Amino acid sequence: MCTRKTRSKSPSRAKSKSKAVSTSKASTPPMPESDKLHPAYELLTLVSGILILVPFGPFVAWQVFWCTVWEFVDKKTLNLIGLCAKISDVVGPKFKGLVRHPKDGFVIILLVYLGVFMPALFFYELKLSLTAGFNYKRCLAFNLFRIGPMYANFMWVYVMCHKEGHAINGSLLRRGIMDSLFGSMFNHWVGMFHGVIPGVFTISHIHNHHKYDNDENDVYSTAYRPRDEFTSWLRYVPEWMAYATNASSLVFFIRQKEWNRVVGTVLSTAYYCGFVALIWHFSPMFCFWYLVYPLIEGNILLSVVNYTWHAFIDPEDPSNDYVNSTTVVDGMNFCLKEEYHVVHHQYAGVHWSKHRALYEKHLPEYKKAKASIFYGENLFVIFGSIVAKDYEKLAELYYEPGDMTKAELVEMMKSRLRCAGVSVAKRVGRSAKSKAAGEKFMSKEIKKAM
């Protein structure tokens, strides 16, 4: 079980080879009007983004600030985070007989903590709210504890829902009674307390995002707008929310006449709505701040994550895997090698323990493509540099610049962030050759796991 890393200096990050260059004027030509989305749609997404961010953004910022302080204080004092990780490293292997992969024994510990303890605390809070009245201080404290030090709890919930969604039959547990009873517990129980609606990872993420890889059919594609503008992300937030609530995916599956996925999405969403309605029946105020708010908060954060993971597009080859997905070697924000995002798209569903090896297997291709790679960096720092148009900072953070000067890196970052539009979205998906190679590899992996 991994712990959150502190950033170490990249062994390969080269020093700047030129003086600072001006970045006030973009080198790429402006996008033609015919390549932009409809003005009415852009206005709608902008207004929707503002309506989401203005009331809820301050609460999210407050939580991120205090969970950062929490981690800092813990590391300087008791180091409970490190202690929990050590306990998991010792105890986790004892449960390897209950999981499909011998390195996943820690999953059982997470199921007890996130699937039993945290829900029990939630219902205890509900009981107090019904008997003693809703308490804002307890609400703030609970939501801070729910997200965890440096959002560690949120990280684990998201990662495990993601891994479970990609697993065979949607389960990380070994076949048998455990699998039958708790096989999809992260997506159908744990996640609901943290803003993950059932069906998002098990259906939409797999059969839309990974099938179309950020192209025009991907319901949360980042390819339509230049990513180096804050307003582009602001417009992206409601698009992400539409996916996170299964709304846009449902419309897509209906249009594609994929009726089995339509039914699955409807039933998954109805299951979540039924749970929310039950809690709302007891206390609307409690339901909003303990269930609905986590949905909004979590997906504001996840919109930042996916926006950054798919922020760069190669103007010369929009289907270039190594540019289109961002790789953060030894990433700080997620565990289980989640930030080897190129590997994740090339070999979707491969066990996390093989991500590093698959990254190293393709290193020549990464270098040839001048891949979007950063080292040991905070994903939110990369995002901030992107939307602030701080190309020089991105050039400094870039992992392996090779013989490129800083001026060349700046221009590369700028052109890749500004490569956008309807025509780009039509070409940005992975190449057929890359998809075929990934599917061939994964078919062998699936046979091994059966």
- Residue 28, in any domain of the structure: no
**How many domains are contained in the chain?**
1
Write down the pLDDT at residue 80. 85
DSSP conformational letter for 375: E
Question: E strand or H helix at 172, and its extent?
Answer: none
Helical spans, DSSP H, in 283-421: 284-287, 293-309, 321-324, 341-346, 355-361, 363-369, 379-387, 391-397, 406-418
Question: E strand or H helix at 373, and its extent?
Answer: strand 373-375
Write down the pLDDT at residue 402. 76
- Residue 77, in any domain of the structure: yes
- Residue 27, in any domain of the structure: no
Long-range CB contacts (within 8 A, 24+) of 84-88: 85/1, 85/2, 85/3, 88/1
Write down the pLDDT at residue 154. 92
Write down the pLDDT at residue 15. 47
Contact 321, 345 (CB under 8 A): yes
Write down the pLDDT at residue 14. 45
Residue 450 and residue 446: Cα distance in Å, rounded? Answer: 6
- Residue 301, in any domain of the structure: yes
Residue 315 and residue 58: Cα distance in Å, rounded? Answer: 36
Residue 302 and residue 241: Cα distance in Å, rounded? Answer: 10
Q: For the chain, which residues score pLDDT lower than 70?
A: 1-29, 177-178, 180, 445-450
Range(s) of the domain holding residue 171: 33-449
- Residue 15, in any domain of the structure: no
Take residue 97 and report the two structure tokens written for it. Answer: 């007989």
pTM for the model? 0.91
Burial 328-355 (b: 16+ CB within 10 A, else e): bbbbbbbbbbbbbbbbbbbbbbbbbeeb
- Residue 344, in any domain of the structure: yes
Residue 155 and residue 161: Cα distance in Å, rounded? Answer: 10
Place of tokens 């999809």: 184
Write down the pLDDT at residue 448. 64
Write down the pLDDT at residue 19. 43
- Residue 8, in any domain of the structure: no
CA dihedral (322, 323, 324, 329) positive or negative: positive
Take residue 407 and report the two structure tokens written for it. Answer: 């001026």
Residue 113 and residue 400: Cα distance in Å, rounded? Answer: 39
- Residue 282, in any domain of the structure: yes
